[in-house]
Amino acid sequence: MATYAIGDIQGCFDELKSLLELISFSIEKDQLWFAGDIVNRGPKSLETLRFIKSLGHSAITVLGNHDIHLLASAQSNKSHRKDTFGEIFSAPDRLELLDWLRKLPLFHHDTTLNFSMLHAGVAPQWDLQKTQLLANEVERILRSNRYSEYLAQIYGNEPTCWTDELMGWDRLRCITNYFTRLRFCDESGRMNFSEKGPPGTQPEGLVPWYQLQDRRTKNQKIIFGHWSTHKLADNDFLFGQNNVFPLDTGCLWGGELTALRLEDEKIFQVPAINH
- Would you tell me how many other CB atoms lie within 10 Å of the CB of residue 264? 7
Nearer to Mn ion, 121 or 124 (CB): 121
E strands in the chain: 3-6, 31-34, 59-61, 107-110, 115-118, 184-185, 191-192, 207-208, 221-224, 244-246, 256-261, 266-271
Closest CA to 37 of 208, 173, 269, 224: 224
Determine the residue with CB nearest Mn ion.
226
Q: Give the binding range for Mn ion (CB under 5 A) out of 30-38, 122-130, 132-140, 202-210.
A: 30-38
Query: Which residue, 271, 272, 269, 263, is CA-closest to 247?
Result: 269
124 versus 246: smaller Cβ distance to Mn ion = 246
37 touching Mn ion, by CB under 5 A: yes
Residue 1: CB minimum distance to Mn ion, A: 29
Buried b / exposed e over 80-96, threshold 16 CB at 10 Å, is eeebbbeebeeeeebee
Comparison of 39 and 141: residue with beta carbon closer to Mn ion: 39
How far apart are CB 124 and Mn ion at their closest, in Å? 20
Q: How far apart are CA 66 and CA 103, in angstroms?
A: 15
Find the part of the chain contacting Mn ion (CB under 5 A) among 32-40, 44-52, 96-104, 160-168: 32-40
User: Does the protein bind Mn ion through residue 15 (CB under 5 A)?
Assistant: no
From the number of C-beta atoms within 10 Å of its C-beta (0-12, 13-18, 19+), residue 112 rates as: exposed
According to DSSP, the β-strands at 3-6 and 59-61 are unpaired
Stretch that binds Mn ion, among 76-84, 139-147, 163-171, 226-234 (CB under 5 A): 226-234
Least distance to Mn ion, CB of residue 37, Å: 4
**Residue of the chain from 226, 228, 245, 272 that contacts Mn ion (CB under 5 A):** 226
User: Residue 65 interacts with Mn ion (CB under 5 A)?
Assistant: yes
Distance of alpha carbon 34 from alpha carbon 224, whole angstroms: 9
Residues 153 and 261: beta-carbon distance below 8 Å: no
Q: How far is CA 74 from the centre of its chain?
A: 19
Residue 256 binds Mn ion, judged by CB under 5 A: no
67 binds Mn ion (CB under 5 A): no
Of the residues 11, 42, 64, 199, which one makes contact with Mn ion according to CB under 5 A: 64
Number of residues that bind Mn ion (CB under 5 A): 4
Rounded least distance, CB 11 to Mn ion, Å: 13
The stretch near Mn ion (CB under 5 A) out of 64-72, 107-115, 132-140, 261-269 is 64-72
Query: Is there a contact between 230 and 245 (Cβ–Cβ < 8 Å)?
Result: no
Cβ proximity to Mn ion: between 64 and 124 the closer is: 64
Closest approach, Cβ 261 to Mn ion, in A, equals 23
Q: Is residue 220 helix, strand or coil?
A: coil
Interacting residues toward Mn ion by CB under 5 A: 37, 64-65, 226
